[in-house]
Structure formats: structure tokens, C-alpha cells
């Protein structure tokens, strides 16, 4: 395995994602949205993941936004695959919420999360690393934001699933990763984040 640090590919991915997220902020905050994929990259690098996996982590929300906006496979290939490699694109596609199932039937919005969880059984370990790093950062961010406020409902109000649904979602991802046999050290960190989130929700 080639352990990553800095590379032109990673630098290019940062620039591309920063431009894509330029006008976006984290829900309910003034933080630039780009802090999320940047932190996912930090987490993946901390665990010594390969260049392509880190690039996938940086681009995961860019790709998911594209899928949500109706980018076709050829558009994804042209805009992401050719620039950053099919390996990075495939890594992301395996673990994002998608609009269409394998038969091209549009998934109802309420089914997209469960569809993603089901697909983890055939996702690569690189994809599972990206999924886990993404959820780890998000869960910890909620915990930290709750610790900083005297009004927890302002934090829970950011999420359409509400307090219980949000906590259940992160727990479901963690449990599903273990169920499909992904036992990398990062899963223990996600488990701790889920426990902290559950405690904060009580």
C-alpha cells in the first residue's frame, strides 16, 4: 500500500471540491461546507489510507451532490473519473445515497439511506473507509456542537430526522459496517462517537 501525505492528485481534489462547495455552509452554522470533506481527508490520512481513498473522501459530497442533481454516469465519468481516476469515483459511488437502483428505478427519498446500508455488503474496503470517516466526522461534529450550546434543540433542529432519527442513523451505519465484516480500527472510533451521541441525546 502506498501511504499518502501530499500529492498533486490530492491537491487537485481539494481545489475541485472547494470550488464546488464555495457557496455552501454547514447546516445551521456559518462554517464553510468544505470543512467537512477536508476533515474526512484528515481522518483517512491519519489512518494511512491510500491516495485514491483520500481523494474519494475529499470528493464524496461533490459526487453525491452531482447524483442528487441528476448527473448521468457519463457526466460523472467526465467530471470526476477522468480527472481523479475511476478508482476514486467507484469508491465514492458505492457508499453514497443514490437516486436510482440497479434497475434504474427511482428510489423514494426515505429509502435511499437503507439502500446505502444494504450496498455496504458489496462495497470495497476503501469505500467503507470513506463511509466510516464521513460518518465519524459528522457524528463528532454534532456531539461537539451540543457541548457548546445551552439550546440543544437548535442543533437537533438541523436534521429532518430529528433527534431520535439522527442518532439511530449513525448507530445503523456503525452496526452495519461491523455486520459486513469491516473491523478496521476506525470503526471503534465511530462506535465511541455513536455512544457519545446517544448519551448527548438522553
Residue 5: its pLDDT value, please? 63
Q: Is residue 65 part of a domain?
A: yes
Q: How many domains does the chain have?
A: 1
Residue 51 to residue 63: CA distance in whole angstroms: 17
Please count the residues of the chain: 202
Residue 1: pLDDT over 50: no
Residue 167: its pLDDT value, please? 97
What would you report as the CA-atom Rg of the chain, rounded to the nearest whole angstrom? Answer: 16
Scanning the structure block, which residue is given the C-alpha cell 448527548?
200
Q: Is residue 74 part of a domain?
A: yes
Q: Which pLDDT tens digit goes with each residue over 15-71?
A: 999 998 887 777 777 778 889 999 999 999 999 999 999 999 999 999 998 888 888
Instruction: List the CATH number of the domain containing 56.
Output: 1.10.3210.10
Residue 25 to residue 56: CA distance in whole angstroms: 20
pLDDT band at 100 (very low <50, low <70, confident <90, very high): confident
Residue 179 to residue 186: CA distance in whole angstroms: 15
- Mean confidence (pLDDT) of the chain: 92
Give residue 48's domain range.
8-201
Q: Residues of the chain with pLDDT > 90: what percent?
A: 77
φ and ψ at residue 129, rounded to 5 degrees: -60, -45
User: Residue 14: CB partners within 8 Å, gap ≥ 6?
Assistant: 38, 41, 58
Between 83 and 3, the higher pLDDT residue: 83
Q: Is residue 3 part of a domain?
A: no
Q: Which pLDDT tens digit goes with each residue over 137-189?
A: 999 999 999 999 999 999 999 999 999 999 999 999 999 999 999 999 999 99
Cα–Cα distances (Å) from 77 to 6, 72, 141, 152, 180, in that order, read 24, 9, 32, 41, 28
Q: Is residue 1 part of a domain?
A: no
Residue 107: pLDDT over 60: yes
Amino acid at each position: 500500500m502506498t501511504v499518502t501525505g501530499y500529492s498533486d492528485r490530492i491537491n487537485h481534489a481539494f481545489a475541485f471540491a472547494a470550488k464546488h462547495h464555495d457557496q455552501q455552509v454547514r447546516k445551521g452554522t456559518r462554517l464553510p461546507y468544505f470543512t467537512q470533506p477536508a476533515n474526512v481527508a484528515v481522518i483517512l490520512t491519519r489512518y494511512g489510507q491510500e491516495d485514491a481513498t483520500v481523494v474519494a473522501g475529499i470528493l464524496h459530497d461533490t459526487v453525491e451532490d452531482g447524483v442528487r442533481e441528476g448527473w448521468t454516469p457519463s457526466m460523472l465519468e467526465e467530471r470526476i473519473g477522468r480527472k481523479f481516476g475511476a478508482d476514486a469515483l467507484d469508491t465514492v459511488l458505492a457508499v453514497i445515497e443514490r437516486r436510482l437502483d440497479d434497475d434504474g428505478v427511482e428510489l423514494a427519498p426515505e429509502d435511499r439511506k437503507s439502500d446505502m446500508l444494504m450496498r455496504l455488503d458489496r462495497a470495497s474496503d476503501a469505500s467503507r473507509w470513506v463511509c466510516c470517516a464521513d460518518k465519524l466526522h459528522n457524528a463528532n461534529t454534532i456531539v461537539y456542537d451540543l457541548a457548546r450550546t445551552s439550546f440543544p434543540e437548535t442543533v437537533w433542529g438541523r436534521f429532518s430526522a430529528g433527534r431520535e432519527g439522527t442518532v439511530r442513523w449513525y448507530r445503523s451505519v456503525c452496526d452495519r459496517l461491523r455486520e459486513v465484516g469491516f473491523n478496521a480500527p476506525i470503526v471503534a472510533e465511530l462506535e465511541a462517537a455513536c455512544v457519545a451521541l446517544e448519551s448527548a441525546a438522553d
